Structure 1
């Protein structure tokens, strides 16, 4: 015998209102993202997407390329450690570490080859991990969305940097680097399993960074007379390990 009780569906006004509010919120979210199809941006437009308006996604620019970084809003939103990048192209700050005033600029003038390469590498990082939404009209792209001479110069400099790094690596691989370790108790130490530790200049760094640096390499005894080799301070001439 069938039960005489049947469930009665009651339409709750409160439930209906909640559904409508959720639907409106969803529609607003969709409408805010519809225009994020790849397009050209102005500085004024980009500035609106700095994370202060929760209805809008968070965007940033680097080398004139614009990315939606909303999925990282804990970092790029207000109070986040990278919020200074939101709503602008602050390409220089990616390597300078200057996140205030004139440091938040897209100009790379005066940066070394290695620093320029680093910025280009950051652009690759965003291309791989975030949503590309177009180009920013200005220093890197013209009003037709075409790359400017400035951008081509930056990319050319970065390419030269990559080539110089590879050349330097090939040359340095011919002479093995020292082993090294450091501890708070004992300080630093370098040593060679075969050969003797010497400081040697890295000429490639002049072109890459504008500065001369040194590395520790291991040389055979018959090679120790080569010019430019420097014995570590307070280290014996034929010692295979030195404190640093």
Structure 2
């Protein structure tokens, strides 16, 4: 049981490195804002990324993650024939309506 728990934690950490959580803020005056930075979600990395909805199997709602926009997909690091779109083509991701596809920040006024 302990081993399974440790494996699940390691998997969660790998997923967080691949898709770190977005920064988010909300105010009654301005509405919501989501954005990515090189350390959003507490995950330090050499890329910024763009906000996307990540749908996880079994989860009721998606959550905002930062997605790498260049290079090979994370699951194809050794593939020399990639589309240079990072993880943007992952089937579990969805763009935010009203947010430009490569915007680092998305605002949703009230």
- Matched with 2:93 is 229
Pick from 1, 16, 35: which aligns with 1:173?
A: 16
Task: Give the Å deviation of 1:236.
Answer: 0.6
Distance in 1 between residues matched to 2:95 and 2:10, nearest whole Å? 26
- Matched with 1:214 is 62
- Matched with 2:55 is 201
Task: Give the Å deviation of 1:224.
Answer: 1.0
- Correspondences of 1:95-244 after superposition (within 5 Å): 163=5, 166=9, 169-174=12-17, 175-193=19-37, 194-203=48-57, 206=58, 211-221=59-69, 222=85, 223-244=87-108
Distance in 1 between residues matched to 2:61 and 2:9, nearest whole Å? 17
Taking structure 2 as the reference length, what is the TM-score of the superposition? Answer: 0.59
1:51-104: CA deviations, max 9, x gaps?
xxxxxxxxxxxxxxxxxxxxxxxxxxxxxxxxxxxxxxxxxxxxxxxxxxxxxx
* Bigger radius of gyration among the two: 1
More strand by share: 2
Q: Tell me, yes or no, if the aligned pair for 2:35 and 2:50 is still in contact at 8 Å.
A: yes
Distance in 2 between residues matched to 1:243 and 1:168, nearest whole Å? 31
Task: Give the Å deviation of 1:201.
Answer: 1.1
Distance in 2 between residues matched to 1:233 and 1:165, nearest whole Å? 32
Q: Tell me, yes or no, if the aligned pair for 2:54 and 2:65 is still in contact at 8 Å.
A: yes
Distance 1:182 1:170, change over 3 A: same
More helix by share: 1
Taking structure 1 as the reference length, what is the TM-score of the superposition? Answer: 0.29
Q: Following superposition, which runs of at least 4 residues in structure 1 exceed 2 angstroms of deviation?
A: 162-169
Aligned residues: 79
Distance in 2 between residues matched to 1:226 and 1:191, nearest whole Å? 19
